[in-house]
Structure 1
Amino acid sequence: MPYAHLSITVPEDVWLSELSQEYPQIRFRIHAATANDETGVARLELLGADVEAVCEQLETYEAVTGVVVTDRDPQRCRLQIETTVPVLLNAIQTAGIPLDFPLELSDGVLELETTVPQAKLSTLGDTLDSFGISYTVERIQQETESEEPLLTDRQEWLLQEAVEQGYYDTPRRITLVELAEEAGIAKSTCSEILHRAEGQVLKEFLDGDADQHPRLSVTAD
């Protein structure tokens, strides 16, 4: 099945487009979302400077009917929102495209990466066109067994979270328990995902290092 990366421009009349363009330095990370014809619900994480101002302005939009902040600090805000204009999500769901979370949006553009049959990609393009949503195809690649990604989406996301939160700093700025709480998963699950991801990265690094030093050998007395 082909892998596709699309940059989708959120329609100008949607509050999320206006808000993200007013604060282009803010990363809008969507962790979960669902919608029907009338309403949408999403769990968002806002990252960057001025998140307090963004959260306050978000509540002023008429189309945003509910906001519940679950975590907040000067550089990050986590919240759940309800909206009456889930245009973009409706378009993607109508095309039958499964969403791999988290999704990233900034400055009015949503980055969508997915692996689906070619027919589904064609349907997505037709559906976005019918909704009047513009997009750019950044990359389409036919995946083969040899082209499988090193990490799963979930492993890559959690590993990135661990790096950003300082789990690998010396000394650590966050514990495994705290990281699991931030990610919304059990400590044991967090530990297992990180362990598998770390193993894959280390194996890839060592394999690559061995390729660069083909004469390297280990002997025992």
Structure 2
Amino acid sequence: MVSVSLTLDVPTRAWIGDLSREFPDARFRIRSAQSCDDVGVGFVEVLTTDSDPDAIVERMEAYDEVYTVEVFQRGADRALIQLEADDPLLLRVLDRTGVPIEMPFEIVDGEVDWELTTTRNRLSTLADELERSDIGFMVEHIWESVQFDRILTERQAEVVATAIDLGYYDSPRGCTQGELADELEMAKSTCCEILHRAEERMIKQFEDGDQPAFTQPKKHA
């Protein structure tokens, strides 16, 4: 598995690409979205600094591709809406590749940032589909997801996963080693020993060259 951060350049032929460039100060935060039979349904928060949200909604309604726009909340600098639109370019790319992305994500002045975790094969398929759809993109960074089960024993993986869940590795710590041992129903000394051996294995694995791989940004037209 790999985790990736992408910046996409939405073409102006997509109505959201055109609209976001017409109102470059606005942020279109996509809270949730799905597509069915080439129709996209989205729950979108529009945030502005200089533009009138009413003007943005009115312009949105004027696109032939947009069927309905329902405003749930409206303020001086924001609007919360649900919309249905034809030919959802970004959603169609995701549907064709089967790649899930983290939501919410934002579209600002024709650009959108995506965070996703997938396999290398699906990532390659996504890149091909973006290029076929005439969507420019830049890889901001990419790294391998650590597979604990390849490095640790089953017991070590359980202890490390529980430590992460309880915030043991957070700063400040979310739990003490004693609290971690209590959660796992084991002696503190046993927990300490298992955790130490697990950390040793992971560090040595990274030393052998299996550390996350970061790339320099690459621009695709």
TM-score, normalised to structure 1, is 0.65
- 1:177-192 aligned within 5 A: none
Identify unmatched segments of 5+ residues in structure 1.
147-196, 208-221
State the match for 1:20 in structure 2. Answer: 20
Question: Quick check: which has more Rg, 1 or 2?
Answer: 2
State the match for 1:190 in structure 2. Answer: none
Question: How big is each residue's C-alpha offset from its partner over 1:50-84, in whole Å with a ceiling of 9 and x where there is no partner?
Answer: 22221121111111110000111111110001111
Q: How many corresponding residue pairs?
A: 156
8 Å contact kept, 1:37–1:90: no
Please identify runs of 4+ aligned residues in structure 1 that moved more than 4 A: none
From 104, 107, 110, the counterpart of 2:106: 104
Counterpart CA distance in 2 for 1:91 and 1:42 is: 15
Is 1:6 the counterpart of 2:6? The answer is yes
Superposed CA RMSD: 2.3
Identity %: 33
State the match for 2:154 in structure 1. Answer: none
State the match for 1:40 in structure 2. Answer: 40
- 1:26-65 aligned within 5 A: 26-49=26-49, 50=51, 51-65=53-67
8 Å contact kept, 1:91–1:128: yes
Counterpart CA distance in 1 for 2:26 and 2:172 is: 32
User: Partner of 2:103: helix, strand, or coil?
Assistant: coil
TM-score, normalised to structure 2, is 0.65
Query: Given the superposition, is the C-alpha separation of residues 127 and 203 from structure 1 closer, same or farther in structure 2, using an over 3 Å criterion?
Result: closer
Question: How big is each residue's C-alpha offset from its partner over 1:18-49, in whole Å with a ceiling of 9 and x where there is no partner?
Answer: 11011111111001111134311111001123
Question: How big is each residue's C-alpha offset from its partner over 1:141-190, in whole Å with a ceiling of 9 and x where there is no partner?
Answer: 112279xxxxxxxxxxxxxxxxxxxxxxxxxxxxxxxxxxxxxxxxxxxx
- Per-residue deviation at 1:106? 0.4
Identify unmatched segments of 5+ residues in structure 2.
149-164, 175-221
